[in-house]
Copies of this chain bind each other. A is one copy, B any other.
Amino acid sequence: MVTSCFAERFGDFIEITPTERQALARLEERTRSLKRGAVLIRENDNQGELFILVSGTAMTYVLLDDGSRQILRFLFPGDMIGFSSLVYVRSAETIAAVSDCVVAAFDRQLLTKIITDHPRLSALVMTMNQLERIALLDRLVALGRTSAKARVAAILLEIRDSRAVADGWSANSFLLGLTQEEIGDATGLTAVHVNRMLRQLDEEGLIARDNGRVTLVNEAALTRLANYTNRFNGIDLSWLPPGR
């Protein structure tokens, strides 16, 4: 049976046809392993390749002149990587492995072919792009208008839910897999302040920590505090064209 990380992402929503599955499988033929910290695409690079994350966690970020870093998004298995180097001559963001990862590389011409031959997959790719846009949107709101504590709470929930989708099951205790500096760079805070916020959330009984492992003790309160919405719910694919 031909498999595809990307297809699995939407397995619960739609039935992929055999032809479609085959087309998607072609995207994941050439895999490559990355060690924690390795850079896959550097800002301003362009090698004309796209990727699908097969396993592990990756992230995208931008470095500023003063050396500070803004992490834009964490990536999980099934995520498509590198659209910004598709549309622009130079990539707007750097993409790097947060944990050891496996990625599948494919040429942009393969995407062009899918768009031409498989309208429904084309719509799925659009959907993925929108989901990603909305993840950015949520983080943007958090950075612009919520407190440090809320942002840290939000990222804990986001990581838990993203991992749940990739792994297929959800637990309220999980390995975070991020350093406090990474959390800070994602939330627009310093590592020091992230530490203080984690301690507070801990002291207030909202979470418990044990070496990288986080337990969401009071998820409802955390969700409220963080102004968090689980974006994996409420997806609507009723507008998709039929499969080919």
The interface of chain A, by Cβ under 8 A from chain B, is: 62, 64-65, 68-70, 72, 83-84, 86-90, 92-93, 108-109, 111-113, 115-116, 119, 122-123, 125-127, 129-134, 136-141, 143-146, 185, 187-188, 227, 229, 231, 234-237, 239-241
Q: Could you tell me the distance between the alpha carbons of A131 and B92 in the complex, rounded to whole angstroms? A: 11
Give A226 to B132 CA distance when docked, in angstroms: 25
In the complex, which of the residues B89, B115, B237 contacts A234, with contact meaning CB atoms closer than 8 Å? B89
Q: Can you list 19 A-B contacts (CB < 8 A)?
A: A65-B227, A68-B145, A70-B145, A84-B137, A86-B130, A86-B236, A87-B131, A87-B236, A88-B134, A89-B236, A92-B138, A92-B229, A122-B126, A126-B129, A129-B129, A129-B133, A133-B133, A144-B188, A145-B188
**Overall SS of chain A's interface:** helix
Residues of B within 8 A of A68 (CB): 145
In the complex, A83 Cα to B84 Cα: how many Å?
19
Contact of A123 among B72, B115, B187, B235 (CB under 8 A): B115
Known A130-B83, A143-B188, A188-B143; contact A112-B108, beta-carbon cutoff 8 A: no
Q: Given the complex of chains A and B, what is the CA–CA distance between A175 and B216 in angstroms? A: 49
B88 touches A239 (CB 8 A): no
Which residues of B lie under 8 Å from residue A125 when comparing CB positions? 126
